[in-house]
Amino acid sequence: MKRNSKTIKIALGAMLTALSIVLPQVFHLTGIPQVGAVFLPMHIPVLLAGFMLGPVYAPIIGAIAPVISHLLTNMPAAARLPFMVVELLVYGLASGLLYHTFRLKDRKFGAVTALALAMLLGRLAYGLALVIAAEFFGVEGGFMAAVTATISGVYGIVLQFITIPPIVFACKKGGFIK
């Protein structure tokens, strides 16, 4: 069986989707207030999906993971859910496109570059969605909400830079990323 077969990708996608639901629960066991908004644990498996599965499967995982998590655990909160769907969909799409389609996987620091750009694009999409929703519903402070979310998530951004590139490197070396 080929490593890049559709069956393997679907199984890996299911595993990463499950991890994006379980990992936030593990973080919530710490008892730290707002731990999800601080460490952004759901983002890690979605970004990894982009690197491991590419730009077709990863945005799907990014879109469905927060919805399934909300239905099972009531997290993220309903008010935050549509914005997380947009953000994680963009994370999956951008990391997959940058790493595979734009061939950053062939560069020495391609994973770090793709990760940084994907995170920037995802956060911009999140902020833009907040601003659009605020304008649509006549609520002030959409831009400040986006800035506050980015500032509160700085530890999560650092965590992503610490964890994702070594995992991508190991998967590439192990032949799981072609």
pLDDT tens digits along 91-125: 999 999 999 999 999 999 999 999 999 999 999 99
Q: Provide the residue ranges of all domains of the chain, joining segments of one domain with +.
A: 6-173
Report whether 36 contacts 24 (CB < 8 A): yes
Rounded to an integer, the average pLDDT of 4-22 is 93
Q: Specify the pLDDT at position 1.
A: 41
Number of neighbours of residue 40 by Cβ within 10 angstroms: 26
Please report which confidence band the pLDDT of residue 2 belongs to, taking 50, 70 and 90 as the band edges: low
User: Which tops the pLDDT comparison, 69 or 144?
Assistant: 69
CATH of 6-173, one of 3.30.565.10, 3.40.50.360, 1.10.1760.20, 1.10.357.10: 1.10.1760.20
pLDDT at residue 52 is higher than 80: yes
Task: Spell out the SS3 assignment of the chain.
Answer: CCCCCHHHHHHHHHHHHHHHHHHHHHHHCCCCCCHHHHHCCCHHHHHHHHHHHCCCHHHHHHHHHHHHHHHHHCCCCCCCHHHHHHHHHHHHHHHHHHHHHCCHHHCCCHHHHHHHHHHHHHHHHHHHHHHHHHHHHCCCCHHHHHHHHHHHCHHHHHHHHHHHHHHHHHHHHCCCCC
Q: Specify the pLDDT at position 4.
A: 55
Looking at beta carbons, which pairs linking 4-11 to residues 24 or more positions away fall under 8 Å? Answer: 4/178, 9/53, 9/57, 10/57
Report whether 95 contacts 51 (CB < 8 A): yes
**Distance in angstroms (rounded) separating the CA atoms of residues 137 and 117:** 30
Q: What is the mean pLDDT of the chain?
A: 93
User: Which tops the pLDDT comparison, 144 or 10?
Assistant: 10
pLDDT at residue 66 is higher than 60: yes
Q: For residue 137, give Cα distances in angstroms to 53, 74, 133.
A: 37, 23, 6
Please report which confidence band the pLDDT of residue 11 belongs to, taking 50, 70 and 90 as the band edges: very high
Report whether 59 contacts 89 (CB < 8 A): yes
Q: Specify the pLDDT at position 34.
A: 92
